Amino acid sequence: MLRLPSLIAVLLLSAYRGGNSPKVEPEPFPIINEYQLHGVVVKEPVANASISVYEIDFTKDNHKGNEVASGSTTELATIVGVSISEPLSEYYLIELTSNSETKDRLTNKKPIIETMYSLVSAEQLKNKTAINLTPLQH
Protein backbone atom coordinates (compact mmCIF):
# COMPACT_ATOMS: atom_id res chain seq x y z
CA MET A 1 0.00 0.00 0.00
CA LEU A 2 2.95 2.35 0.45
CA ARG A 3 3.67 2.10 -3.21
CA LEU A 4 0.46 3.84 -4.36
CA PRO A 5 1.00 7.05 -2.31
CA SER A 6 4.65 7.18 -3.43
CA LEU A 7 3.64 6.77 -7.09
CA ILE A 8 1.03 9.54 -6.75
CA ALA A 9 3.60 11.86 -5.14
CA VAL A 10 6.12 11.22 -7.94
CA LEU A 11 3.51 11.85 -10.63
CA LEU A 12 2.35 15.08 -8.97
CA LEU A 13 5.91 16.38 -8.57
CA SER A 14 6.86 15.55 -12.15
CA ALA A 15 3.77 17.37 -13.46
CA TYR A 16 4.61 20.53 -11.48
CA ARG A 17 6.46 23.11 -13.62
CA GLY A 18 6.77 26.06 -11.29
CA GLY A 19 3.16 27.07 -10.97
CA ASN A 20 1.41 29.31 -13.45
CA SER A 21 4.52 31.22 -14.64
CA PRO A 22 4.81 31.25 -18.41
CA LYS A 23 7.73 29.60 -20.13
CA VAL A 24 10.26 32.23 -21.22
CA GLU A 25 11.65 31.77 -24.73
CA PRO A 26 15.04 33.31 -25.54
CA GLU A 27 14.98 36.17 -28.05
CA PRO A 28 16.39 35.18 -31.43
CA PHE A 29 19.58 36.87 -32.61
CA PRO A 30 18.89 39.54 -35.22
CA ILE A 31 19.99 38.64 -38.72
CA ILE A 32 22.49 41.18 -40.00
CA ASN A 33 23.31 40.96 -43.68
CA GLU A 34 26.84 41.76 -44.74
CA TYR A 35 27.90 42.61 -48.26
CA GLN A 36 31.38 42.08 -49.69
CA LEU A 37 32.95 44.77 -51.85
CA HIS A 38 34.17 43.20 -55.10
CA GLY A 39 36.57 44.95 -57.42
CA VAL A 40 40.02 45.50 -58.81
CA VAL A 41 42.42 48.40 -59.24
CA VAL A 42 43.07 49.10 -62.95
CA LYS A 43 45.07 51.53 -65.14
CA GLU A 44 47.66 51.61 -62.37
CA PRO A 45 47.18 48.18 -60.79
CA VAL A 46 48.24 48.65 -57.19
CA ALA A 47 49.10 45.65 -55.01
CA ASN A 48 49.06 45.58 -51.21
CA ALA A 49 47.32 48.93 -50.74
CA SER A 50 44.92 49.86 -47.94
CA ILE A 51 41.21 50.19 -48.72
CA SER A 52 38.85 52.26 -46.56
CA VAL A 53 35.10 52.66 -47.03
CA TYR A 54 33.34 55.76 -45.72
CA GLU A 55 29.78 56.98 -45.49
CA ILE A 56 29.41 60.10 -47.61
CA ASP A 57 29.07 63.32 -45.62
CA PHE A 58 28.41 66.37 -47.80
CA THR A 59 28.95 68.71 -44.85
CA LYS A 60 32.70 67.91 -44.91
CA ASP A 61 35.12 69.21 -47.53
CA ASN A 62 36.51 65.74 -48.29
CA HIS A 63 33.02 64.15 -48.03
CA LYS A 64 34.38 61.46 -45.69
CA GLY A 65 31.87 60.45 -43.06
CA ASN A 66 32.27 57.56 -40.64
CA GLU A 67 34.54 54.71 -41.73
CA VAL A 68 32.36 51.62 -42.10
CA ALA A 69 34.84 49.05 -43.42
CA SER A 70 38.43 48.49 -44.38
CA GLY A 71 40.49 45.96 -46.26
CA SER A 72 43.31 45.81 -48.76
CA THR A 73 44.36 44.82 -52.25
CA THR A 74 46.10 41.56 -53.09
CA GLU A 75 49.24 40.97 -55.15
CA LEU A 76 46.89 40.90 -58.16
CA ALA A 77 45.32 44.29 -57.20
CA THR A 78 42.00 42.68 -56.22
CA ILE A 79 40.05 44.27 -53.37
CA VAL A 80 39.66 41.86 -50.43
CA GLY A 81 38.45 41.86 -46.85
CA VAL A 82 35.89 44.65 -47.22
CA SER A 83 32.53 43.74 -45.70
CA ILE A 84 29.74 46.29 -45.17
CA SER A 85 26.84 45.52 -42.81
CA GLU A 86 23.23 46.60 -43.04
CA PRO A 87 21.63 49.06 -42.86
CA LEU A 88 23.23 50.25 -46.07
CA SER A 89 23.61 53.86 -47.17
CA GLU A 90 22.75 54.71 -50.76
CA TYR A 91 26.42 55.34 -51.67
CA TYR A 92 29.86 54.91 -50.11
CA LEU A 93 33.21 56.58 -50.76
CA ILE A 94 36.01 54.07 -51.45
CA GLU A 95 39.56 55.25 -50.71
CA LEU A 96 42.71 53.40 -51.77
CA THR A 97 45.85 54.53 -49.95
CA SER A 98 49.43 53.42 -50.57
CA ASN A 99 51.44 52.15 -47.63
CA SER A 100 55.02 50.89 -47.22
CA GLU A 101 54.10 47.53 -48.85
CA THR A 102 52.25 48.98 -51.84
CA LYS A 103 53.67 48.60 -55.33
CA ASP A 104 52.61 49.21 -58.90
CA ARG A 105 52.29 45.78 -60.51
CA LEU A 106 53.53 47.07 -63.87
CA THR A 107 56.75 48.66 -62.62
CA ASN A 108 57.18 46.85 -59.29
CA LYS A 109 57.85 50.29 -57.73
CA LYS A 110 55.95 52.60 -55.42
CA PRO A 111 52.88 53.90 -57.29
CA ILE A 112 52.90 57.44 -58.67
CA ILE A 113 49.34 58.06 -57.47
CA GLU A 114 49.26 57.30 -53.76
CA THR A 115 45.53 57.83 -53.17
CA MET A 116 42.55 56.98 -55.38
CA TYR A 117 38.81 57.36 -54.81
CA SER A 118 35.68 55.76 -56.16
CA LEU A 119 32.02 55.33 -55.28
CA VAL A 120 30.01 52.19 -54.74
CA SER A 121 26.23 52.02 -54.41
CA ALA A 122 24.14 49.86 -52.14
CA GLU A 123 22.67 48.32 -55.28
CA GLN A 124 26.15 47.33 -56.52
CA LEU A 125 26.93 45.74 -53.15
CA LYS A 126 23.66 43.79 -53.09
CA ASN A 127 24.13 42.62 -56.69
CA LYS A 128 27.81 41.73 -56.10
CA THR A 129 28.80 44.06 -58.94
CA ALA A 130 32.55 44.49 -59.16
CA ILE A 131 33.94 48.01 -59.24
CA ASN A 132 37.01 49.17 -61.14
CA LEU A 133 39.04 51.57 -59.06
CA THR A 134 41.11 53.78 -61.39
CA PRO A 135 43.19 56.96 -61.14
CA LEU A 136 40.80 58.45 -63.68
CA GLN A 137 38.10 58.55 -61.00
CA HIS A 138 40.32 60.62 -58.71
- Quote the pLDDT of residue 138: 45
Can you give the pLDDT at residue 43?
A: 79
Backbone angles phi, psi at 55, to 5 degrees: -65, 150
Of 135 and 132, more confident? 132
Note the Cα 131 to chain centre separation in Å: 16
CATH 1.20.58 fits 34-130, yes or no: no
Q: In this predicted model, what pLDDT tens digit does every residue of 60-74 receive, in sequence order?
A: 988 999 999 999 999
Please name the residues in contact with 49: beta carbons below 8 A apart, sequence gap of 6 or more.
Answer: 41, 72, 73, 96, 97, 98, 99, 102, 111
The pTM for the full model equals: 0.74
Q: Where are the domains of the chain?
A: 34-130
Give residue 79's pLDDT.
95
Q: Is 138 helix (H, G, I), strand (E, B) or coil?
A: coil
State which H helix or E strand residue 96 sits in: strand 91-97
Residue 28: per-residue pLDDT: 75
